[in-house]
Structure 1
Amino acid sequence: MADQQPIIEINQVWKEYGSNIVLESLNLSVNQGDFISIVGASGCGKTTFLNMLLGTETPSRGEILLDGEPLSQEPGVERGIVFQKYSVFPHLTALDNVVLGLEVDTQGTSSRLLGRLFGQRKQDAIEQARKILDQVGLLSAQDKYPHELSGGMRQRLSIAQALIKKPRILLLDEPFGALDPGIRKDMHVLVKSLWKEQNLTVFMITHDLSEGFHLGSRLWVFDHARNDEQAPERFGAQVTFDIPTEQVEHSMPDLIQKKIA
């Protein structure tokens, strides 16, 4: 709807490290239920941007708003993240890994205890975890340890960890990069179904352009609109394309591929 309040607003955001400008002049808005695929050459600030959405990095200038209010400068339960490298605990079963998400905040750079669960609260958490494991196709593996799971199953477990807190925003940092092509297709089906069923707002970094077009409802291309070969740190990356994926012309993927190569 045209008058829909954006869930995320990015207003004149810059990210700088000393004299090195990583991102500059980002002005974007995202509605609830958008699936943003993010592509771009290595080193153009995609992960830095995702970390700002998570709350582990802060803008140097400008602001990011969530529901019209400044985004919390620390990870919050409304945001879940899945990394390319599995973030599961090897000494815990699949079920315990997911239950732990309700006891420990593992979304940032370090873990912090939210509160141990006992009695009925513990049983309720176990039931929630089983439902999530069922959603990602791991209920039959609930008692297995991560080393007993395949790569695709471990990534499903990471997604279950992220979903247990019922986030509104799911951040995916190259979540399928280490998976075989067949398993990636299965994961595509899973993520797309979870996105639609739960009306999630998703931001996904990928180096696979076809994956970005296939999964996302919008494709953002991070690139340097301005360059200085003598001082490449002078200018930061911007979102140079913001494309509704259903409107993509056949020639567009080739043009973008040249930009991110």
Structure 2
Amino acid sequence: MSFITVNKVWKEYGDQVVLENLSLSVKKGEFCTLVGASGCGKSTFLKMLLGQETQTRGELLLEGETFPGEPDRNRGIVFQRYSVFPHLTVRQNVLMGLELEQKPWLGKLFGGARREALEKVEAMLESVGLGPSAHKWPHELSGGMQQRLAIAQSLIMRPRVLLLDEPFGALDPGIRADMHDLLLKLWRETGTTIFMVTHDLKEGFHLGTRLLVFDKVRNDPHEPQAYGATITYDLPIGRTNSKLLDDINQSLKETARSQAA
């Protein structure tokens, strides 16, 4: 059985069609990278997987069951902007998720439960390279370190699905390369199923086991909102060639030009 099934999914806002007729089957542990022109619905698709948005038509299934209607611990997300709490230390930021899960009213753990949670937090901080920074405040961290913290916040909950919305877009190239290595390391260790939006085609091929290209196949200049994007390429990484990459790049550039016209 497929881990995640997307069956003829559409997303519309009134007369605006954002996504149309998406169909996809994803196995547990796959790393899917999503590329496409700005505004073609990649982030909207992530929001549907997270539970922030509901499809207009079609089915979205997790192991054969309808996706939960609201975000839960099984789905973690990391955005381009660092989603950390500035009034909490690094350790407290990562601990908060465990505390709220076990003690949603008090938001605090005590005794053995707290010691066990802190052991998990320390292990997670070490795995993302933040062990020596556990007592620092987020504003004392570099951009790359803050993004490591955001990833730790998500992974401490052991989500079954990790959603990344351009998580490295604001980082310098050298820091991005370090973050790539970190993400691949954590993915191999946890076996989490990952969906990652990126505008960098090379990044998509470097990180993913599967590249999903979102693009509009139908355009009407008189009704630009009448048609939505769909998945035009679904590529297993390692089975592509330079001509295909050129074709994808050209297709995305043509879409961007038509949107700007």
- Please give the range of the TM-score, normalised by the shorter of the 2 chains: over 0.9
Residue identity opposite 2:251 in structure 1: K
**2:58 aligned partner:** 62
The 5 A counterparts of 1:8-19 are 8-19=4-15
**Any conservation in 1 of the 2:96–2:107 contact (CA below 8 Å)?**
no
**Any conservation in 2 of the 1:103–1:113 contact (CA below 8 Å)?**
no
For the pair 1:249 / 2:241, whether they are aligned, the reply is: yes
**2:78 aligned partner:** 82
Q: When the two structures are superposed, what TM-score results if normalisation uses the length of structure 1?
A: 0.93
For the pair 1:97 / 2:93, whether they are aligned, the reply is: yes
Distance 2:182 2:105 in 1: 30
Distance 2:168 2:192 in 1: 18
Distance 1:217 1:91, change over 3 A: same
Distance 1:113 1:102 in 2: 13
1:43 paired residue among 39, 61, 66: 39
Residue identity opposite 2:3 in structure 1: I
Distance 1:38 1:216 in 2: 9
SS in 1 for 2:23: strand
Gaps of 5+ in 2: 254-261
SS in 2 for 1:121: helix
SS in 2 for 1:101: helix
1:209 paired residue among 197, 201, 208: 201
**Any conservation in 2 of the 1:21–1:234 contact (CA below 8 Å)?**
yes
- Offset at 1:45? 0.4
1:6 paired residue among 2, 6, 12: 2
Residue identity opposite 2:252 in structure 1: I
For the pair 1:155 / 2:147, whether they are aligned, the reply is: yes
**Any conservation in 2 of the 1:35–1:203 contact (CA below 8 Å)?**
yes
Distance 2:121 2:64 in 1: 31
Q: When the two structures are superposed, what TM-score results if normalisation uses the length of structure 2?
A: 0.93
Cα-Cα RMSD: 1.3
For the pair 1:234 / 2:226, whether they are aligned, the reply is: yes
Which contiguous aligned blocks of 4+ residues in structure 1 show a shift greater than 4 angstroms? 112-115
Distance 1:114 1:39, change over 3 A: farther
**Any conservation in 1 of the 2:36–2:42 contact (CA below 8 Å)?**
yes
Distance 1:114 1:20 in 2: 43
Distance 1:118 1:8 in 2: 37
Distance 1:114 1:9, change over 3 A: farther
SS in 2 for 1:86: coil
- Offset at 1:115? 4.6
Gaps of 5+ in 1: 106-111
- Deviations 1:31-88, CA, capped at 9 Å, x for gaps: 0111100000011000000000000101011111001100001011111111000000
User: What is the percent sequence identity of the aligned residues?
Assistant: 57
- Offset at 1:259? 2.2
**Any conservation in 2 of the 1:88–1:154 contact (CA below 8 Å)?**
yes
- Offset at 1:114? 8.3
- Deviations 1:179-233, CA, capped at 9 Å, x for gaps: 0000000000010111111111110000011000000011011001111111011
**1:125 aligned partner:** 117
- Offset at 1:19? 0.6
**2:20 aligned partner:** 24
Distance 2:252 2:112 in 1: 51
**1:258 aligned partner:** 250
For the pair 1:197 / 2:169, whether they are aligned, the reply is: no
Distance 1:104 1:51 in 2: 22
